[in-house]
Amino acid sequence: MWLSVALEADADHADALADALLEQGALTVSVEDAEAGTVHETARFGEPGADSEVSPNLWLRNRVTALFEPSADPDELPRRIAAACNAVGIDRPSLMRIEEVAEQNWVQLTQSQFEPIQINPRLWIIPSWHAAPDPAAINLQLDPGMAFGTGSHPTTRLCLEWLCENLQGGESVLDYGCGSGILAIAAAKLGANQVIGVDIDDGALQVAHDNAAANQVNLELRHSRARLDETFDRVVANILTNPLCLMAPVIAARVATASGNKPGGRLALSGILESQAEEVIAAYAPFIALRRGAALDGWVRLESAAGGQPA
């Protein structure tokens, strides 16, 4: 049985306490909101409700949980905890509890947290260890990894839904900020005949390459430093508000304009909180007109009509 020790620390001491516990022999240490699950829980990491005036990494009250090996002497643990606390200037540690943690199959436990995700009747996202609930649907295989995008985040889902609604087959698609490649791969599986994914992170591009191979689709992947002159029938960018605003002229220029009998392209942006929508709409107004589309859990998708012109 492993031994878990949980303490409380304020924002000024939590990180240092975590390091001190590792020096005292803890195998792992986690820092979480001590108010999690209560009405006093504090949002972090840019999700709806986050307080931009507070550190993005710590809470006012933190639960610091350390895991010790089964051979650790439970009678010795209080001394080791006290030593860690004293090392960071906490005179009287608030020892919440010492618990035994049974050995588990951690891989199996982690996998159990990721179930198939149905985007709509047409598209599913399936971890590799699961059978497809609907073999007749378009099934995109994707495992959690180092790059953003598994289908579970509202912004990714909003973009996947948009692709399902706006791809009939044969289109060219640009996924700007492709991360894991989930949107680009979905576009290819939905019938796009040319798909380019762009990202600033070499690691993300490698992940996207591997995911494309696992799904047996062809993507062209480029670093954001590479030249990009083409225009596209569909452009999707799931990033964050600030970079979306900064890159407005670059992203909008990739949307194909109407030509002859061919309608212009369409653009969808996500990674935007509902409260930030008007800021992004204004940033793109000189280049392409955007409107609010679907919203989910505090996030919104902005989209243009076919061949959208400046507002």
Same domain, 95 and 159: no
**Residue 147: per-residue pLDDT:** 58
Which residues on neighbouring strands pair with residue 65, listed in sequence order?
A: 6, 30
Residue 118 lies in a domain: no
The pLDDT tens digits of the residues spanning 131-174 come to 999 999 999 999 876 556 777 899 999 999 999 999 999 999 99
Which CATH number fits the domain that encloses residue 82?
A: 3.30.70
**Same domain, yes or no, for 94 and 164?**
no
Tell whether 194 is covered by a domain: yes
Q: What is the amino acid identity at position 190?
A: L
Strand pairing class (94-101; 117-120):
unpaired
Residues 97 and 14 in one domain: yes
Residues 92, 8: one domain?
yes
In a domain, 121, yes or no: no
Same structural domain, 43 and 155: no
Q: 91 and 154: one domain?
A: no
Shared-domain flag, residues 69 and 204 = no
First to last CA, the chain: 64
C-alpha to C-alpha distance for 200 and 250, rounded to whole angstroms: 14
Domain boundary among 69, 103, 137: 103
Token match 């609930």: residue?
133
What is the per-residue pLDDT across 244-285, written as a single tens digit (0 to 9) for each? 999 999 999 999 998 777 888 999 999 999 999 999 999 999
Q: What is the pTM of this model?
A: 0.68
Cα–Cα distance measured from residue 10 to residue 55, given in angstroms and rounded to the nearest whole number = 12
Q: What is the pLDDT of residue 109?
A: 55
Q: Is residue 136 part of a domain?
A: no
Q: Are residues 210 and 81 in the same domain?
A: no
What is the count of structural domains for the chain?
A: 2
The reply to whether 152 and 294 lie within a common domain is yes
Q: Are residues 30 and 158 in the same domain?
A: no
Q: Which residue, of 72, 103, 134, is where some domain finishes?
A: 103
Supply the pLDDT for residue 51: 47
Q: Residue 135 falls within a domain, yes or no?
A: no
Q: Domain ends where: 44, 74, 103?
A: 103
Pairwise CA distance, residues 251 & 11, whole Å: 39
| Domain annotation covers residue 117 | no
Distance CA 210, CA 184 (A): 13
| Three-class DSSP category at 291 | strand
The 10 Å Cβ neighbour count of residue 163 is 23
In whole angstroms, give the CA distance from residue 285 to residue 248: 9
Over residues 111-136, the pLDDT tens digits come to: 566 789 999 999 999 998 889 999 99
- Provide the domain limits for residue 169: 148-303
| Same domain, yes or no: 75 and 152 | no
Dist CA 256 CA 44 (whole Å): 38
Helix axes 154-166, 182-189, angle to 10 degrees: 20
Question: What whole-number distance in Å separates Cα of residue 79 and Cα of residue 168?
Answer: 66
Phi and psi at residue 241, to the nearest 5°: -55, -50
Considering the domain architecture, whether residues 277 and 173 belong to the same structural domain is answered as yes
The answer to whether residue 246 sits within a structural domain is yes
Structure tokens at 258: 């109407």
Provide the CATH number for the domain around residue 278.
Answer: 3.40.50.150
Residue 217 covered by a domain: yes
Q: Which of 183, 224, 223 is nearest to 206 (CA)?
A: 223
Q: Judge whether 184 and 212 are in contact, CB under 8 Å.
A: yes
Report how far residue 264's alpha carbon sits from residue 101's, in angstroms, rounded to the nearest whole number.
Answer: 59
Res. 207: pLDDT tops 60: yes
